[in-house]
Amino acid sequence: MGDSSLFSTEQASWGRVAYRLYACTILAGICMILYYRSTHLPATWQEGRWTWIGLSLAELWYAFYWIITQSVRWNPVYRRTFKEKLSQRNEERLPNVDIFVCTADPFAEPPSLVVSTVLSFMAYNYPPEKLNIYLSDDGGSILTFYAMWEASQFAKYWIPYCKRYKVEPRAPAAYFSLADGTNNTSNHEWLDMKILYEEMTNRIDSILASGKVPEELKANHKGFIQWTPEMTSKNHPPIVQILIDGKDPDALDNDGNALPTMVYMAREKNPEYHHNFKAGAMNSLIRVSSVISNSPIILNADCDMYSNNSDSIRDALCFFLDEQKGHNIAFVQYPQNYNNLTKNDTYGNTLSVINEVEMRGLDSWGGPPYIGTGCFHRREILCGTKYTKDYKEDWNRGSKRNPRVDIRELEEKAESLATCTYELNTLWGHEVGLKYGIAVEDIITGLMIQCRGWKSVYYSPAQKGFLGVGPTTLAQTVLQHKRWSEGNFQIFLSKYCVFIYGHGKIKIGLQMGYCIYNLWAANSVPTLYYVIVPSLSLLRGIPLFPNMTSPWFVPFAYVMVGKQIYSLIEALLTKEITVRGWWNLQRMWLIKRLTSYLYGTLAAFLKTLGVSKMGFTLTTKVSGEDSLKRYEQENIEFDTSPLTLAIIVFVALLNLACLVGATSCAVMEGWAGVLERYFLQIVLSGLVVAVNVAIYEGLLLRNDKGSIPWSVTFTSLGVVMLVCLVPIV
């Protein structure tokens, strides 16, 4: 009898010995640096004792954080699925799957974008009668509902077309932007489908631009009558509309095959009740879907994260359905990838190192975190079920609904589960469903699931499972990372701190892995110190590092150079980052630590102390034409707040001023003596200046709308001059 395993797990062997040797030498260098700091403290405050102590604390933090990051680089694993074995099973035995898509604002997340994502899921290579697609519209917009109604009509043509020609990707927007109609399809049919799609999107975009649905169109579907003039995005009743009932024998595509179920949901909103943002929407979807389809597997994805691989469901099921190793797997997490990054990734938004290195390392310790999109869950576990050895999954769940049940009655029952008051005095948002009160509801929910005894799996196929839209401006990037860093740091400061909450429940390696992200925000303070104080000390003639001829110079130089070389190699090995792209990552690494992470630190502390409440700002998926043009040309769009720009410009100008001052001193006193005493400080300031070349261009050489305003330039310059005049010790 052959091996019946549906997946395999392989440990990475290449380069592991070399990496571990490198890591050990870096650790030795770090220990020598810390020893040097503790034994060479300046004798007096005038010689820079306070500065030295501050630098020592920053380096101690960096040492701790570096050790934390080793947990995910020590023993990464790779997963491989065997879909052919799954396909040998009777298709009737495959479980039903519910797919959740969340949107919140038709203007920040255009309905045409949402529709393309929804259609990509409807066209999965999976029995359509077993697929149920749910859209949560937290904006409660009739414009989004209209777009979904259009999608339900277009799906009758699109799904058979995709399956007939096995097209990839199955998101029409992505497909038609890549395909030319010559691959596996007739030019005539390809053109007809493209025209049909463009006509649909033109109608959707026109109605979005007008802001209202014409009365004659409202007569086409009963669901439109639920919208009244008094309704707003923040105050409206619950709405559940089954646009396609996959259990209805008459719900067929143009080839006569069954269609997936399609459901629109807008949970109730009332200013008197907190709606808990995306976590609240997801929990409403869990309840609403339980009375309509109740599938044992749930996939959730962001509205801009379309399916790029029509076999993703089958790949995920290889993990859940494996009889020997799948019994304790709670969720299967796919990586988050963007399809709109420029060649050199101007804003450093690629997640390649996280996806290809860190997530695989986390997988070796018990599984990756839940990252909020592209994740397949077992329904029961998402609802709070604890792991036990005798747990058995009911894979037939959701397949027995009476197809003749009255649809409106079913919709009304579902609407009663999406009201503002339903969760009052229940465990929803606490022990059941996604966790409330944390800005990164996905990370905390995944942690709680793993602490209940379950494992997770990371799967990154050669053909990416999901592709989405990344930020295209500096403001979008700063906002996104502020939200991520704030939420993760909030977890660390709460009772859910992984070293406390996870103690004895998950492995120490996984605890350390979580802290890589939980402590993103905390990196802001030592980074701010490290890019300001050594440069000012250079200007003041205060040496903070060993002389070039000192034996202690070696560990400092080795750690600085070794970490940068490894970072470059690691990035290039992902095969998605260029050398220039890596350099852009270094600039954005600095910018995010000085802005996003700093804001995240302050916000997390204020919320932990109860001074402020949790908020959620949606990252817009729309940019103006001029802004997009500059993005494609890889010019930074300095469109963020004046305070954010002021911090960035201040650090860039300060290091430039200090470097110029050191150069002037070297010219007057001789290069040999200056380099002997201040070489590492000069290198540090020089690196900050080098990575900020794009900032200087935005200050002096650009005159487009995306450049840095003169008001910010003059303000920052004034602060730099003031700081340079203030003595430091």
Residues of 385-397 as b/e, b for ≥16 C-beta within 10 angstroms? Answer: beeeeeeebebeb
Question: Which class for 98: exposed (0-12), middle (13-18), buried (19 or more C-beta within 10 A)?
Answer: buried
Active-site hit among 98, 138, 253, 311: 138
As given in the structure block, the two tokens for residue 112 are: 């045409």
Q: Which amino acid is at 618?
A: L
Cα dihedral angle (516, 280, 243, 192), rounded to 10 degrees?
Answer: -30
Q: How far lies 284's CA from each of 75, 104, 137, in Å?
A: 39, 14, 11
Does 98 participate in catalysis according to the annotation? no
Determine the Cα–Cα distance for residues 455 and 452; give it in Å rounded to an integer: 9
Q: How far lies 310's CA from each of 126, 171, 257, 307, 325, in Å?
A: 8, 10, 18, 7, 24
Give the DSSP H or E segment for 451.
Answer: helix 441-451
Determine the Cα–Cα distance for residues 460 and 315; give it in Å rounded to an integer: 10
Closest listed residue to residue 7, CA positions, set 85, 76, 77: 85
Determine the Cα–Cα distance for residues 65 and 67; give it in Å rounded to an integer: 5
- Please tell me whether the peptide bond between 169 and the residue prior to it is cis, using omega within 30 degrees of 0: yes
Q: How far lies 345's CA from each of 178, 339, 532, 717, in Å?
A: 20, 11, 27, 29
Who's near 266: CB < 8 A, 6+ residues apart? 136, 137, 138, 139, 140, 141, 145, 236, 238, 239, 418
Q: Where are the alpha helices (DSSP H) in 625-709?
A: 625-632, 642-669, 671-691, 693-696
Active-site hit among 245, 304, 311, 442: 442
Contact between residue 433 and residue 289 where contact means Cβ atoms under 8 Å apart: no
Closest listed residue to residue 553, CA positions, set 22, 33, 52: 33
Closest listed residue to residue 567, CA positions, set 405, 390, 303, 352: 352
Strands 455-458 and 375-378: unpaired
Contact between residue 706 and residue 637 where contact means Cβ atoms under 8 Å apart: yes
Determine the Cα–Cα distance for residues 148 and 208; give it in Å rounded to an integer: 13
Q: How many CA atoms lie within 13 A of 213 on its CB side?
A: 23
Determine the Cα–Cα distance for residues 471 and 556; give it in Å rounded to an integer: 36
Strands 466-467 and 97-103: unpaired
Cα dihedral across residues 179, 184, 188, 190: positive or negative: negative
Bridge partners for 302 per DSSP: 102
The end-to-end CA distance of the chain, in Å, is 76
Does 442 participate in catalysis according to the annotation? yes
Backbone angles phi, psi at 448, to 5 degrees: -65, -40
| 246-250: long-range contacts, CB 8 A cutoff, minimum separation 24 | 246/128, 246/129, 246/131, 246/132, 247/129, 247/401, 247/402, 247/403, 248/403, 249/403
Determine the Cα–Cα distance for residues 304 and 285; give it in Å rounded to an integer: 18
Catalytic sites, residue numbers: 138, 442
